[in-house]
Structure 1
Amino acid sequence: MKIYHIAIVDDDINIRQIVEAYLQKEGYVTTAIESAEEAITLEQENPPDLWVLDIMLPGMNGYEFCRRIRAGSETPIIMVSARDEEVDKILGLELGSDDYLTKPFSPRELVARVNRALQRWKQMKSHAEQTAISALVLDKEKRLVYSFGEEVEVTSKEFQVLSLLSEHPNRAFSRDELLSLIWGFDYFGSDRVVDDLIRRIRKKLDKIPLETVWGFGYRLRTLEGTKDE
Protein backbone atom coordinates (compact mmCIF):
# COMPACT_ATOMS: atom_id res chain seq x y z
CA MET A 1 0.00 0.00 0.00
CA LYS A 2 1.39 3.38 -1.01
CA ILE A 3 2.23 5.80 1.81
CA TYR A 4 1.61 9.33 0.58
CA HIS A 5 4.05 12.17 1.15
CA ILE A 6 2.46 15.52 2.07
CA ALA A 7 4.36 18.82 2.02
CA ILE A 8 3.20 21.65 4.31
CA VAL A 9 4.44 25.08 3.21
CA ASP A 10 3.62 27.73 5.83
CA ASP A 11 5.72 30.35 7.62
CA ASP A 12 3.73 29.87 10.85
CA ILE A 13 5.54 27.18 12.88
CA ASN A 14 2.48 26.50 15.04
CA ILE A 15 0.34 25.72 12.00
CA ARG A 16 3.09 23.53 10.53
CA GLN A 17 3.37 21.51 13.73
CA ILE A 18 -0.39 21.07 14.19
CA VAL A 19 -0.99 20.09 10.55
CA GLU A 20 1.97 17.70 10.62
CA ALA A 21 0.70 16.01 13.79
CA TYR A 22 -2.78 15.41 12.36
CA LEU A 23 -1.51 14.20 8.98
CA GLN A 24 1.04 11.87 10.56
CA LYS A 25 -1.69 10.45 12.80
CA GLU A 26 -3.61 9.71 9.59
CA GLY A 27 -0.62 7.72 8.33
CA TYR A 28 0.96 10.23 5.97
CA VAL A 29 4.66 11.04 5.66
CA THR A 30 5.12 14.80 5.98
CA THR A 31 7.67 17.49 5.21
CA ALA A 32 7.12 20.92 6.77
CA ILE A 33 8.89 23.98 5.34
CA GLU A 34 8.45 27.71 5.69
CA SER A 35 9.05 29.18 2.22
CA ALA A 36 8.32 28.63 -1.46
CA GLU A 37 12.03 28.70 -2.15
CA GLU A 38 12.51 25.64 0.08
CA ALA A 39 9.49 24.08 -1.61
CA ILE A 40 11.14 24.42 -5.03
CA THR A 41 14.14 22.48 -3.74
CA LEU A 42 11.82 19.80 -2.31
CA GLU A 43 10.01 19.48 -5.65
CA GLN A 44 13.32 18.86 -7.38
CA GLU A 45 14.74 16.40 -4.84
CA ASN A 46 11.77 14.62 -3.27
CA PRO A 47 8.47 15.73 -4.81
CA PRO A 48 5.45 15.18 -2.56
CA ASP A 49 2.12 13.64 -3.53
CA LEU A 50 0.21 16.70 -2.30
CA TRP A 51 0.97 20.28 -1.26
CA VAL A 52 -0.70 22.14 1.64
CA LEU A 53 0.28 25.64 0.58
CA ASP A 54 -0.10 28.94 2.42
CA ILE A 55 -0.64 31.95 0.16
CA MET A 56 1.05 34.63 2.25
CA LEU A 57 4.67 33.47 2.36
CA PRO A 58 7.89 35.47 2.74
CA GLY A 59 9.63 35.94 -0.60
CA MET A 60 7.76 34.10 -3.35
CA ASN A 61 4.08 33.87 -2.46
CA GLY A 62 1.85 30.83 -2.74
CA TYR A 63 0.20 32.02 -5.95
CA GLU A 64 3.52 32.22 -7.79
CA PHE A 65 4.66 28.85 -6.44
CA CYS A 66 1.36 27.26 -7.50
CA ARG A 67 1.88 28.67 -11.00
CA ARG A 68 5.37 27.15 -11.14
CA ILE A 69 4.19 23.75 -9.98
CA ARG A 70 1.36 23.70 -12.51
CA ALA A 71 3.82 24.43 -15.32
CA GLY A 72 5.12 20.87 -15.05
CA SER A 73 2.98 18.84 -12.64
CA GLU A 74 -0.62 18.00 -11.74
CA THR A 75 0.21 17.19 -8.10
CA PRO A 76 -2.79 18.16 -5.90
CA ILE A 77 -2.53 21.53 -4.13
CA ILE A 78 -4.67 22.67 -1.21
CA MET A 79 -4.24 26.40 -0.59
CA VAL A 80 -4.75 27.86 2.88
CA SER A 81 -4.97 31.55 3.73
CA ALA A 82 -6.19 34.02 6.31
CA ARG A 83 -7.74 35.93 3.39
CA ASP A 84 -11.31 34.79 2.78
CA GLU A 85 -12.24 37.19 -0.02
CA GLU A 86 -13.95 35.49 -2.95
CA VAL A 87 -11.43 36.95 -5.39
CA ASP A 88 -8.57 35.22 -3.50
CA LYS A 89 -10.29 31.86 -3.71
CA ILE A 90 -11.08 32.29 -7.39
CA LEU A 91 -7.50 33.30 -8.18
CA GLY A 92 -6.12 30.28 -6.34
CA LEU A 93 -8.45 27.92 -8.21
CA GLU A 94 -7.71 29.58 -11.56
CA LEU A 95 -3.98 29.10 -10.98
CA GLY A 96 -4.54 25.39 -10.51
CA SER A 97 -5.13 24.68 -6.82
CA ASP A 98 -7.52 21.81 -6.14
CA ASP A 99 -9.04 23.22 -2.95
CA TYR A 100 -9.00 26.35 -0.77
CA LEU A 101 -9.29 26.54 3.01
CA THR A 102 -9.57 29.73 5.06
CA LYS A 103 -7.66 30.21 8.32
CA PRO A 104 -8.40 29.48 11.09
CA PHE A 105 -9.45 26.01 10.00
CA SER A 106 -10.15 22.70 11.70
CA PRO A 107 -7.19 20.29 11.30
CA ARG A 108 -9.72 17.47 10.95
CA GLU A 109 -11.35 19.29 8.04
CA LEU A 110 -7.95 19.72 6.39
CA VAL A 111 -7.25 15.99 6.79
CA ALA A 112 -10.64 15.21 5.21
CA ARG A 113 -9.85 17.49 2.28
CA VAL A 114 -6.40 15.92 1.87
CA ASN A 115 -7.99 12.45 1.83
CA ARG A 116 -10.52 13.54 -0.77
CA ALA A 117 -7.94 15.27 -2.98
CA LEU A 118 -5.66 12.22 -2.96
CA GLN A 119 -8.56 9.92 -3.77
CA ARG A 120 -9.45 12.06 -6.78
CA TRP A 121 -5.77 12.11 -7.81
CA LYS A 122 -5.55 8.32 -7.49
CA GLN A 123 -8.62 7.87 -9.68
CA MET A 124 -7.29 10.33 -12.27
CA LYS A 125 -3.90 8.56 -12.38
CA SER A 126 -5.60 5.19 -12.74
CA HIS A 127 -7.53 6.48 -15.73
CA ALA A 128 -4.36 7.99 -17.21
CA GLU A 129 -2.49 4.72 -16.76
CA GLN A 130 -5.23 2.80 -18.57
CA THR A 131 -5.07 5.32 -21.42
CA ALA A 132 -1.29 5.08 -21.57
CA ILE A 133 -1.46 1.35 -22.27
CA SER A 134 -1.99 2.10 -25.94
CA ALA A 135 -0.22 5.48 -25.89
CA LEU A 136 3.36 4.21 -26.02
CA VAL A 137 4.82 0.87 -27.09
CA LEU A 138 8.55 0.36 -27.63
CA ASP A 139 9.84 -2.54 -29.71
CA LYS A 140 13.44 -2.56 -28.52
CA GLU A 141 14.57 -5.38 -30.78
CA LYS A 142 13.42 -3.60 -33.93
CA ARG A 143 13.90 -0.13 -32.36
CA LEU A 144 10.40 0.97 -33.31
CA VAL A 145 7.96 3.22 -31.46
CA TYR A 146 4.17 2.99 -31.62
CA SER A 147 1.59 5.43 -30.28
CA PHE A 148 -2.02 4.19 -30.10
CA GLY A 149 -1.10 1.42 -32.51
CA GLU A 150 0.50 3.69 -35.10
CA GLU A 151 4.23 3.67 -35.80
CA VAL A 152 6.01 6.95 -35.04
CA GLU A 153 9.35 7.64 -36.68
CA VAL A 154 12.02 8.64 -34.15
CA THR A 155 15.76 9.19 -34.29
CA SER A 156 18.29 6.98 -32.51
CA LYS A 157 18.76 9.51 -29.69
CA GLU A 158 14.99 9.95 -29.28
CA PHE A 159 14.57 6.17 -29.00
CA GLN A 160 17.38 5.96 -26.42
CA VAL A 161 15.77 8.67 -24.26
CA LEU A 162 12.32 7.02 -24.47
CA SER A 163 13.84 3.65 -23.55
CA LEU A 164 15.73 5.10 -20.59
CA LEU A 165 12.75 6.97 -19.18
CA SER A 166 10.37 4.04 -19.67
CA GLU A 167 12.75 1.70 -17.83
CA HIS A 168 12.66 3.95 -14.73
CA PRO A 169 9.01 4.72 -13.93
CA ASN A 170 8.43 8.22 -12.56
CA ARG A 171 12.11 8.82 -11.84
CA ALA A 172 13.36 12.34 -12.60
CA PHE A 173 16.56 12.49 -14.65
CA SER A 174 18.64 15.66 -14.59
CA ARG A 175 19.86 17.17 -17.84
CA ASP A 176 23.42 16.23 -16.87
CA GLU A 177 22.41 12.60 -16.31
CA LEU A 178 20.71 12.45 -19.70
CA LEU A 179 23.74 14.00 -21.36
CA SER A 180 26.06 11.42 -19.79
CA LEU A 181 23.80 8.40 -20.38
CA ILE A 182 22.68 9.24 -23.93
CA TRP A 183 25.45 11.38 -25.39
CA GLY A 184 28.31 9.90 -23.35
CA PHE A 185 30.62 11.13 -20.61
CA ASP A 186 32.96 12.73 -23.14
CA TYR A 187 30.26 15.04 -24.52
CA PHE A 188 31.14 18.69 -23.84
CA GLY A 189 28.31 20.51 -25.61
CA SER A 190 25.46 22.51 -24.08
CA ASP A 191 22.71 20.79 -22.09
CA ARG A 192 20.28 22.66 -24.34
CA VAL A 193 20.57 19.67 -26.67
CA VAL A 194 18.53 17.72 -24.10
CA ASP A 195 15.74 20.32 -24.11
CA ASP A 196 15.69 20.33 -27.91
CA LEU A 197 15.43 16.54 -28.02
CA ILE A 198 12.60 16.44 -25.47
CA ARG A 199 10.78 19.14 -27.46
CA ARG A 200 10.97 17.00 -30.60
CA ILE A 201 9.75 13.91 -28.74
CA ARG A 202 6.77 15.83 -27.34
CA LYS A 203 5.90 17.09 -30.81
CA LYS A 204 5.88 13.53 -32.18
CA LEU A 205 4.29 11.90 -29.11
CA ASP A 206 2.07 14.61 -27.67
CA LYS A 207 -0.08 12.22 -25.61
CA ILE A 208 2.63 10.59 -23.49
CA PRO A 209 3.06 11.98 -19.93
CA LEU A 210 6.57 13.39 -20.40
CA GLU A 211 6.94 15.97 -17.63
CA THR A 212 9.37 18.78 -16.96
CA VAL A 213 10.83 18.79 -13.45
CA TRP A 214 11.29 22.51 -13.00
CA GLY A 215 14.94 23.56 -12.75
CA PHE A 216 16.13 19.94 -12.91
CA GLY A 217 15.23 17.74 -15.85
CA TYR A 218 12.53 15.35 -17.06
CA ARG A 219 10.53 12.25 -16.13
CA LEU A 220 7.93 10.00 -17.76
CA ARG A 221 4.83 9.61 -15.58
CA THR A 222 2.20 6.87 -15.18
CA LEU A 223 4.48 4.22 -16.61
CA GLU A 224 2.56 1.37 -15.06
CA GLY A 225 0.58 1.58 -18.28
CA THR A 226 3.53 1.96 -20.64
CA LYS A 227 4.62 -1.17 -22.47
CA ASP A 228 7.93 -2.51 -23.65
CA GLU A 229 8.24 -5.35 -26.14
Structure 2
Amino acid sequence: MSSTIAIVEDDPHIQQIVEAYLQKEGYHTIRLETAEAAWDLWKTSPPDVWVLDIMLPGMNGYEFCSRIRQESDMPIIIISARDEEVDKVMGLELGSDDYLTKPFSPRELVARVNRVVKRWNKFKNSQSSVEADHSILQSGELHLSMVERLVWWQGEEIDVTAKEFNLLEILISQLNRAFSREELLVRVWGDDYFGSDRAVDDLVKRLRKKMPEVPIETVWGYGYRLKEQDE
Protein backbone atom coordinates (compact mmCIF):
# COMPACT_ATOMS: atom_id res chain seq x y z
CA MET A 1 0.00 0.00 0.00
CA SER A 2 1.27 3.44 -0.92
CA SER A 3 2.28 5.73 1.93
CA THR A 4 0.25 8.89 2.50
CA ILE A 5 2.11 12.20 2.65
CA ALA A 6 0.38 15.24 4.18
CA ILE A 7 1.62 18.54 2.72
CA VAL A 8 0.97 21.34 5.22
CA GLU A 9 1.72 24.49 3.21
CA ASP A 10 -0.26 27.70 2.64
CA ASP A 11 1.39 28.56 -0.70
CA PRO A 12 -0.75 26.84 -3.39
CA HIS A 13 2.09 26.96 -5.95
CA ILE A 14 4.48 25.07 -3.66
CA GLN A 15 1.65 22.70 -2.72
CA GLN A 16 1.04 21.81 -6.35
CA ILE A 17 4.71 21.27 -7.19
CA VAL A 18 5.40 19.12 -4.14
CA GLU A 19 2.21 17.11 -4.69
CA ALA A 20 3.01 16.50 -8.37
CA TYR A 21 6.49 15.14 -7.61
CA LEU A 22 5.30 12.97 -4.71
CA GLN A 23 2.42 11.54 -6.72
CA LYS A 24 4.80 10.78 -9.58
CA GLU A 25 6.84 8.78 -7.07
CA GLY A 26 3.71 6.78 -6.23
CA TYR A 27 2.65 8.41 -2.98
CA HIS A 28 -0.88 9.33 -1.99
CA THR A 29 -0.99 13.01 -0.97
CA ILE A 30 -3.22 15.28 1.10
CA ARG A 31 -2.93 19.06 0.86
CA LEU A 32 -3.63 21.23 3.90
CA GLU A 33 -3.24 24.98 4.33
CA THR A 34 -3.19 25.28 8.13
CA ALA A 35 -1.77 23.43 11.11
CA GLU A 36 -5.26 23.40 12.63
CA ALA A 37 -6.55 21.40 9.65
CA ALA A 38 -3.52 19.11 9.94
CA TRP A 39 -4.28 18.53 13.63
CA ASP A 40 -7.84 17.54 12.74
CA LEU A 41 -6.43 15.09 10.19
CA TRP A 42 -4.06 13.67 12.82
CA LYS A 43 -6.99 12.93 15.13
CA THR A 44 -9.14 11.27 12.43
CA SER A 45 -6.92 9.74 9.74
CA PRO A 46 -3.19 10.37 10.29
CA PRO A 47 -0.84 10.21 7.29
CA ASP A 48 2.48 8.36 7.21
CA VAL A 49 4.67 11.46 6.80
CA TRP A 50 4.22 15.20 7.34
CA VAL A 51 5.83 17.73 4.97
CA LEU A 52 5.44 20.81 7.11
CA ASP A 53 5.94 24.52 6.46
CA ILE A 54 6.90 26.69 9.44
CA MET A 55 5.28 30.02 8.55
CA LEU A 56 1.59 29.14 8.62
CA PRO A 57 -1.47 31.22 9.51
CA GLY A 58 -2.65 30.52 13.04
CA MET A 59 -0.66 27.74 14.69
CA ASN A 60 2.86 27.70 13.24
CA GLY A 61 4.81 24.65 12.17
CA TYR A 62 7.02 24.59 15.25
CA GLU A 63 4.03 24.34 17.58
CA PHE A 64 2.40 21.67 15.42
CA CYS A 65 5.63 19.65 15.33
CA SER A 66 5.91 19.86 19.12
CA ARG A 67 2.29 18.73 19.60
CA ILE A 68 2.73 15.74 17.27
CA ARG A 69 5.92 14.72 19.05
CA GLN A 70 4.07 14.52 22.33
CA GLU A 71 1.99 11.70 20.83
CA SER A 72 3.91 10.06 18.00
CA ASP A 73 7.33 9.51 16.44
CA MET A 74 5.99 9.58 12.87
CA PRO A 75 8.29 11.30 10.33
CA ILE A 76 8.15 15.09 9.96
CA ILE A 77 10.07 16.98 7.26
CA ILE A 78 10.14 20.74 7.74
CA ILE A 79 10.29 23.04 4.71
CA SER A 80 10.91 26.70 5.47
CA ALA A 81 12.09 29.99 4.01
CA ARG A 82 13.90 30.57 7.31
CA ASP A 83 17.46 29.40 6.72
CA GLU A 84 19.16 30.63 9.88
CA GLU A 85 21.00 27.94 11.82
CA VAL A 86 18.92 28.65 14.93
CA ASP A 87 15.74 27.88 12.98
CA LYS A 88 17.13 24.56 11.72
CA VAL A 89 18.35 23.62 15.20
CA MET A 90 14.96 24.50 16.70
CA GLY A 91 13.19 22.36 14.12
CA LEU A 92 15.42 19.37 14.84
CA GLU A 93 15.22 19.87 18.60
CA LEU A 94 11.43 19.83 18.40
CA GLY A 95 11.67 16.42 16.78
CA SER A 96 11.60 16.93 13.02
CA ASP A 97 13.43 14.27 11.01
CA ASP A 98 14.72 16.65 8.36
CA TYR A 99 14.81 20.35 7.43
CA LEU A 100 14.82 21.80 3.91
CA THR A 101 15.25 25.49 3.14
CA LYS A 102 13.21 27.20 0.42
CA PRO A 103 13.78 27.32 -2.46
CA PHE A 104 14.55 23.61 -2.62
CA SER A 105 14.75 21.00 -5.34
CA PRO A 106 11.52 18.93 -5.47
CA ARG A 107 13.65 15.91 -6.39
CA GLU A 108 15.69 16.39 -3.21
CA LEU A 109 12.50 16.55 -1.17
CA VAL A 110 11.28 13.31 -2.77
CA ALA A 111 14.62 11.66 -1.95
CA ARG A 112 14.32 12.71 1.67
CA VAL A 113 10.71 11.55 1.86
CA ASN A 114 11.81 8.19 0.44
CA ARG A 115 14.47 7.91 3.12
CA VAL A 116 12.19 8.67 6.09
CA VAL A 117 9.44 6.40 4.72
CA LYS A 118 11.94 3.55 4.39
CA ARG A 119 13.24 4.11 7.92
CA TRP A 120 9.71 4.44 9.37
CA ASN A 121 8.51 1.26 7.68
CA LYS A 122 11.60 -0.58 8.88
CA PHE A 123 10.96 0.64 12.41
CA LYS A 124 7.29 -0.42 12.36
CA ASN A 125 8.16 -3.82 10.93
CA SER A 126 10.81 -4.39 13.57
CA GLN A 127 8.31 -3.53 16.29
CA SER A 128 5.68 -5.95 14.95
CA SER A 129 8.15 -8.78 14.40
CA VAL A 130 9.73 -8.75 17.85
CA GLU A 131 8.71 -11.79 19.85
CA ALA A 132 6.86 -10.95 23.03
CA ASP A 133 9.05 -10.89 26.11
CA HIS A 134 6.79 -11.62 29.08
CA SER A 135 9.07 -9.94 31.59
CA ILE A 136 8.53 -6.72 33.47
CA LEU A 137 11.56 -4.45 33.67
CA GLN A 138 11.54 -2.63 36.98
CA SER A 139 13.57 -0.17 38.97
CA GLY A 140 11.89 1.24 42.04
CA GLU A 141 8.65 2.89 40.96
CA LEU A 142 9.40 2.61 37.24
CA HIS A 143 7.93 -0.45 35.49
CA LEU A 144 8.09 -1.38 31.80
CA SER A 145 5.93 -4.16 30.38
CA MET A 146 7.69 -5.70 27.39
CA VAL A 147 4.49 -7.45 26.27
CA GLU A 148 2.16 -4.48 25.99
CA ARG A 149 4.99 -1.92 25.75
CA LEU A 150 3.47 0.05 28.61
CA VAL A 151 5.11 2.23 31.24
CA TRP A 152 4.05 2.77 34.84
CA TRP A 153 5.57 5.39 37.11
CA GLN A 154 4.62 5.62 40.80
CA GLY A 155 1.66 3.35 40.14
CA GLU A 156 0.28 5.44 37.27
CA GLU A 157 0.29 4.36 33.63
CA ILE A 158 2.21 6.89 31.53
CA ASP A 159 1.41 7.51 27.86
CA VAL A 160 4.70 7.32 25.94
CA THR A 161 5.67 7.20 22.28
CA ALA A 162 7.58 4.31 20.74
CA LYS A 163 10.90 6.16 20.89
CA GLU A 164 10.31 7.23 24.49
CA PHE A 165 9.66 3.59 25.41
CA ASN A 166 12.78 2.44 23.54
CA LEU A 167 14.95 4.96 25.36
CA LEU A 168 13.58 3.89 28.74
CA GLU A 169 14.13 0.23 27.82
CA ILE A 170 17.79 0.92 26.98
CA LEU A 171 18.40 2.86 30.19
CA ILE A 172 16.58 0.47 32.54
CA SER A 173 18.27 -2.58 31.02
CA GLN A 174 21.65 -1.35 32.31
CA LEU A 175 21.00 0.73 35.40
CA ASN A 176 23.64 3.28 36.43
CA ARG A 177 25.48 2.90 33.13
CA ALA A 178 26.19 6.18 31.33
CA PHE A 179 25.13 6.09 27.68
CA SER A 180 26.54 8.65 25.28
CA ARG A 181 24.16 10.74 23.22
CA GLU A 182 25.66 9.26 20.06
CA GLU A 183 24.99 5.69 21.21
CA LEU A 184 21.43 6.50 22.23
CA LEU A 185 20.84 8.28 18.91
CA VAL A 186 21.94 5.21 16.94
CA ARG A 187 20.06 2.71 19.11
CA VAL A 188 16.79 4.66 19.17
CA TRP A 189 16.72 6.35 15.74
CA GLY A 190 18.98 4.09 13.68
CA ASP A 191 22.41 4.64 12.18
CA ASP A 192 21.03 6.52 9.15
CA TYR A 193 19.32 9.27 11.15
CA PHE A 194 19.93 12.72 9.65
CA GLY A 195 19.36 14.98 12.67
CA SER A 196 21.65 15.99 15.51
CA ASP A 197 22.10 14.30 18.87
CA ARG A 198 20.05 17.13 20.36
CA ALA A 199 17.11 14.88 19.51
CA VAL A 200 18.18 12.73 22.48
CA ASP A 201 18.00 15.76 24.78
CA ASP A 202 14.50 16.50 23.51
CA LEU A 203 13.37 12.91 24.15
CA VAL A 204 14.71 13.03 27.71
CA LYS A 205 13.04 16.41 28.24
CA ARG A 206 9.70 14.93 27.16
CA LEU A 207 10.08 11.98 29.55
CA ARG A 208 11.00 14.28 32.43
CA LYS A 209 7.92 16.37 31.72
CA LYS A 210 5.71 13.28 31.84
CA MET A 211 7.52 11.84 34.91
CA PRO A 212 9.09 14.79 36.78
CA GLU A 213 10.84 12.67 39.41
CA VAL A 214 12.11 9.89 37.13
CA PRO A 215 15.82 9.42 37.98
CA ILE A 216 17.26 9.96 34.50
CA GLU A 217 20.52 11.72 35.27
CA THR A 218 22.45 13.95 32.90
CA VAL A 219 26.11 13.04 32.50
CA TRP A 220 27.38 16.48 31.54
CA GLY A 221 29.20 16.62 28.23
CA TYR A 222 28.43 12.95 27.54
CA GLY A 223 24.87 11.63 27.83
CA TYR A 224 22.44 10.06 30.27
CA ARG A 225 21.94 7.22 32.74
CA LEU A 226 19.06 5.85 34.77
CA LYS A 227 19.96 5.76 38.45
CA GLU A 228 19.03 2.53 40.21
CA GLN A 229 16.27 2.85 42.78
CA ASP A 230 15.43 0.77 45.80
CA GLU A 231 12.68 -1.75 45.14
Change (3 A) 1:135 1:99: farther
Aligned to 1:110: 109
Aligned to 1:57: 56
The aligned runs of 1:117-132 (5 Å cut-off) are 117-131=116-130
Following the alignment from structure 2 to structure 1, what is the Cα–Cα distance between the partners of residues 146 and 59? 45
State the Cα deviation string for residues 63-108 of structure 1 (Å, max 9, x = none).
Answer: 0000000010111000000011111000000000000000000111
Alpha-carbon offset, residue 209 of structure 1: 6.5
Change (3 A) 1:126 1:206: farther
Whose relative contact order is higher, 1 or 2, with alpha carbons under 8 Å and at least 6 apart? 1
Structure-2-length-normalised TM-score:
0.59
Following the alignment from structure 2 to structure 1, what is the Cα–Cα distance between the partners of residues 45 and 154? 25
Aligned to 2:11: 12
- Partner of 2:29, secondary structure, is strand
The aligned amino acid for 1:77 is: I
Q: Number of paired residues? A: 153
Alpha-carbon offset, residue 17 of structure 1: 0.7
Change (3 A) 1:45 1:69: same
- Partner of 1:105, secondary structure, is coil
Change (3 A) 1:98 1:132: farther
- Partner of 1:104, secondary structure, is coil
Aligned to 1:73: 72
Alpha-carbon offset, residue 122 of structure 1: 1.3
Change (3 A) 1:206 1:6: same
Change (3 A) 1:45 1:148: closer
Change (3 A) 1:148 1:39: closer
Q: Which has the larger radius of gyration?
A: 1
RMSD over aligned Cα atoms: 3.1
The aligned amino acid for 1:24 is: Q
Change (3 A) 1:63 1:148: closer
Following the alignment from structure 2 to structure 1, what is the Cα–Cα distance between the partners of residues 30 and 124? 23
Alpha-carbon offset, residue 205 of structure 1: 7.2
Following the alignment from structure 1 to structure 2, what is the Cα–Cα distance between the partners of residues 92 and 110? 16
Are residues 1:92 and 2:91 paired?
yes
**Alignment check: 8 A CA contact 1:55 1:62 kept:** yes
- Partner of 2:79, secondary structure, is strand
Structure-1-length-normalised TM-score:
0.59
